[in-house]
Amino acid sequence: MTLGSSTFQVPVVAVGCMRIDSLDAAEAERFVKGSVDLGANFFDHADVYGGGRCEEIFADAIGMSPAVREQILLQSKVGIRTGSFDFSKEHILESVDGILRRLRTDHLDVLLLHRPDALVEPEEVAEAFDQLETQGKVKHFGVSNQNPTQIELLRRWVKQPLVANQLQLSITNATMITAGVNVNMLGGSSVDRDGGVLDYCRLNDITIQPWSPFQYGFFEGVFLGSDKFPELNKVIDEVAARYDVSQTTMAIAWLLRHPARMQPVTGTTKLERLTECVAGGDVSITREEWYAIYLAAGNTLP
Ligand SMILES: NC(=O)c1ccc[n+]([C@@H]2O[C@H](COP(=O)([O-])OP(=O)(O)OC[C@H]3O[C@@H](n4cnc5c(N)ncnc54)[C@H](OP(=O)(O)O)[C@@H]3O)[C@@H](O)[C@H]2O)c1
Instruction: Specify the pLDDT at position 254.
Output: 98
Tell me which residues are annotated as active site: 49
What confidence score (pLDDT) does residue 221 get?
97
Position in ligand 1 atom list of the atom nearest CA 270: 41
The reported pLDDT for the residue numbered 43 is 99
**Closest residue by CA, ligand 1 atom 5:** 211
What residue ranges of the chain have pLDDT lower than 50?
Answer: none
Give the per-residue pLDDT at 2. 97
Which residue has its alpha carbon closest to ligand 1 atom 44? 16
Indicate yes or no: pTM above 0.75: yes
What pLDDT, in 10s, does the model give residues 189-241?
999 999 999 999 999 999 999 999 999 999 999 999 999 999 999 999 999 99
**Binding pocket residue ranges, ligand 1, CB within 6 Å:** 16-19, 44, 144-145, 166, 211-215, 219, 222, 224, 248, 265-270, 273
Task: Spell out the long-range contacts of 79-86 with Cβ–Cβ below 8 A and sequence spacing 24 or more.
Answer: 79/113, 79/114, 79/115, 79/117, 80/46, 80/47, 80/48, 80/114, 80/115, 84/117, 85/114, 85/115, 85/116, 85/117, 85/118, 86/117
Mutate to test the pocket of ligand 1, among 13, 18, 76, 117 (most ligand atoms within 8 A of CB): 18
What integer pLDDT is reported at residue 191 of this predicted model? 95
Return phi, psi of residue 47, to 5°: -60, -25
Strand partners, 164: 207
Our mutation pick for probing the ligand 1 site, out of 115, 150, 222, counting the most ligand atoms within 8 A of Cβ, is: 222
What pLDDT was estimated at residue 233? 98
Cα gap 93→131, rounded to integer Å: 8
